[in-house]
Amino acid sequence: MANALTTGARFFAPTRKPSFFARLLRVNVDARQRHADRVVAKYIATHGLKFTDDAERRIERLLSRAGR
């Protein structure tokens, strides 16, 4: 008799589909993260590749202004 952990049966167990609002929240969070990643990448590309404390503070200000 095979063990359920070794056959992979555990990985195919039915799972509940997330609710509409949970999926909507996940999409919103993912979109905000992608936007933040773009802002940081753009800042680093235009101001040099050094990530100093000052650069971190400026990026933080950019992100807080972008959320308004």
The full set of domain ranges for the chain reads: 18-66
What residue spans of 1-68 are helical by DSSP H?
4-7, 20-47, 53-66
Query: CA dist 40 to 4, 49, 50, 66, Å?
Result: 45, 11, 12, 12
pLDDT means over runs of 10, the chain (68 residues): 55 79 96 92 86 88 77
Mean pLDDT of the chain: 82
Read off the pTM: 0.64
